Copies of this chain bind each other. A is one copy, B any other.
């Protein structure tokens, strides 16, 4: 049987006052969660913090130490509130300055655009010593990987492109498989039998996600395992426990 512990674990740090104030609805978390699930590197924790240097440094240290990978989103643009590169460098005691490889990429980009490669834009060429650049096919300014921390932009189209650049560099884990069953009964009716099944299949994780639709209670029961045969066996039992109404 596949060992679910063979899965490396990831965390995400979303940096941005605009998410916490409710001004912007984050979409990067949901995107990354799906990509990591598919890659066999489950997302184990997410934090959303404000644009505060010390808070970011502390979160980067804690999450990079606890998990195999940390993905950050936001705060790597040219404006004064873009402080993620500084904070990640500080978290690892790495020197941060304009780096020739990043500067060359940006210089070529702004030359093509006919834009001025000014001091603010030069900020985006500041990359910590020892970091690897993350390709940005959307708007050129690179992200970077320092130790196990992958630093990416907050703009969703750029974030998604950077995730696509980074994931192939990350060892994938055992694929977590999932199957689900929608039961049109209140959770209170299914909880007892479901708990017994969960105790019997202790290598399959069962979640129950209730909903209220048109005034009626129901629940999506999701079973997850890295072992396809055990998952099938669990689902067979689940279908027998909760047959469709009228069956």
- Report how far A141 CA is from B121 CA in the complex, Å: 54
Give the Cβ gap from A118 to chain B, nearest Cβ, in Å.
6
Please name all residues of chain B whose beta carbon is closer than 8 Å to the beta carbon of A207 when the two chains form the complex. 17-18, 51, 81
Please state if B78 and A191 are interface contacts (CB–CB under 8 Å): yes
> Does A186 make an interface contact (CB < 8 A)?
yes
Is A198 on the interface with B (CB-CB < 8 A)? Answer: yes
Chain B residues, Cβ within 8 Å of A31 = 22
Which of the residues B77, B187, B211 comes within 8 Å of A78, measured between beta carbons?
A: B187
Q: Rank and list the top 9 A-B pairs by shortest CB-CB distance, nearest first.
A: A120-B191, A22-B33, A22-B34, A121-B188, A80-B195, A46-B48, A79-B208, A78-B191, A79-B191
Residue contacts A-B, CB under 8 angstroms, 11 given: A20-B44, A20-B46, A21-B33, A45-B49, A78-B188, A79-B190, A79-B191, A118-B192, A120-B191, A155-B211, A158-B212
